[in-house]
A and B are shown apart, each in its own frame.
Chain A
């Protein structure tokens, strides 16, 4: 199997070296290149077309947020995983809306970064676990306050419940147990949700839930 080609974007040389140390021993990854700021990152992303970019947020000149936006727009097949000291959920929301497929905190166990790179490569989203909790909580609050939008309004009460459980990462069987209904009924609800929201995969469903939680939430 081809290795996941990673572009490392980080203004601190010491962290670039650290990431290299970590990625070099992974059998399924290789460092395709490095960049030290946002502008270099966009250029390198276009030249190398990596599978995944590991992106620092705070950088001199063009920062990680703007670089992510540009890369996702110009090279939609290139995924971005944010790696940052910043734990603020506001940065996190901005990165996800800019198109990042992952958000990992520096200081978290490095296995999270590896998992995020693999998950992003699959076209799915990896989030620093405490942020996932926050996200679901925010999303539910918005639903609770009736701040629902677009197609979400088409869903029945039951379908929304199923959506919430799916977004929290429960399997069909777990949802069936929680709602005391049959797994095939869950499957039916799920199909209806996907159809009403015009989604194809579970990852899209997750993304949708994220976006629902995001809409108008931030200034």
Chain B
């Protein structure tokens, strides 16, 4: 046996062996190349996610800052203005009756401006999200955006008493905000139902409407003139925090969005 081995080792390469080795070498080369490309791709994907995360958190900070300024400067200034106008109106200031009408109109301007400011704050970054949490913020957002359109809205929340990590609350809120906006802008629904629950170690969110629905596949695959940035953005944001988003819809059948976020895997 040892003899055999030695003889085999000493046998010179034949033409056939060389061809085989060259072929194997090619295969190995391709495999290595593939592995390297795969590695690069993964590297790029990771870099992309990281960049996206940075962009998102920079954007959130900026939004929070602007919302705070609107609240602290704009809204308070307008409040003081309203109070001052109400004082002018008072009979003891000797104001003429025709002035009272003008003052009242100006008061309404200030009121309107304050309402607009409130709406801007709500879209940018509602204080209620930071103060009271996701459920309260979603309730306020949906009420203010759906009820004026005459869309009935219900919110069910189960075992959502405990607050989540701030970055998760913000991400979930942004996803639900987009879903609610879509209901308001596209669905022509009579009723929108939002459900949030904490079950089996995950947060699950559902946004359902009984509106016109749409072709999900065609919309996501960009068969239409305009990319579905809202829907894709929601997916992306869910993925970034380790969650997933499922979109079910058909023309004429309403739309249902299902969001899942496992909590155990979250780094605190």
Contact = CB atoms under 8 A, between A and B. Distances in A.
Contact of B118 (A14, A24, A87, A109): A87
A90 interface: yes
Contacts of B78: 106-107
Interface string B124-136: 0011100111011
Interface stretch (A15-23, A162-170, A186-194, A205-213): A15-23
A89 B111 contact: no
B161 interface: yes
A69 B196 CA distance: 30
B128 A22 contact: no
B79 A21 contact: no
A106 B75 contact: yes
B83 to A, nearest CB: 3
A52 B81 CA distance: 23
B11 to A, nearest CB: 81
B84 A21 contact: yes
A106 B114 contact: yes
Interface in B119-167: 121, 126-128, 131-133, 135-137, 139-140, 143-144, 157, 160-161
B86 A90 contact: no
Contact of B79 (A18, A25, A58, A91): A18
Interface string A9-39: 0001011011101101111000000000000
B interface: dominant SS: helix
B140 A107 contact: no
A14 B136 contact: no
A111 interface: yes
B16 interface: no
A86 B127 contact: yes
Contacts of A90: 128, 132, 136, 139-140
B67 to A, nearest CB: 11
A191 to B, nearest CB: 37
Contact of B92 (A17, A25, A91, A107): A25
A27 B93 CA distance: 12
A110 B135 contact: no
B251 interface: no
Contacts of B144: 87
Contact of B80 (A15, A25, A86, A87): A15
B152 to A, nearest CB: 12
A88 B135 CA distance: 11
B77 A21 contact: no
Contacts of A110: 82-83, 85-86, 107
A14 B139 contact: no
A27 B87 CA distance: 12
Given A17-B80, A18-B82, A85 B139 contact: no
A14 B77 contact: yes
A219 interface: yes
Contact of B83 (A22, A58, A85): A22
A22 B140 contact: no
A88 B80 contact: no
A41 B139 CA distance: 31
A108 B78 CA distance: 11
A89 B135 CA distance: 12
A219 to B, nearest CB: 4
Contacts of B118: 85, 87, 107
Nearest to B75: A85
B71 A24 contact: no
A88 B76 contact: no
Contact of B140 (A25, A88, A219): A88
A18 B92 contact: no
A21 B87 contact: yes
A107 B126 CA distance: 17
A106 B79 contact: yes
B115 interface: yes
A15 B76 contact: yes
A58 to B, nearest CB: 6
A91 B84 CA distance: 26
A108 B112 CA distance: 9
**Which 6 A-B residue pairings sit nearest by Cβ, starting from the closest?**
A18-B80, A107-B114, A18-B83, A110-B86, A90-B136, A219-B161
6 contacts: A12-B80, A22-B87, A25-B92, A85-B75, A107-B114, A107-B118
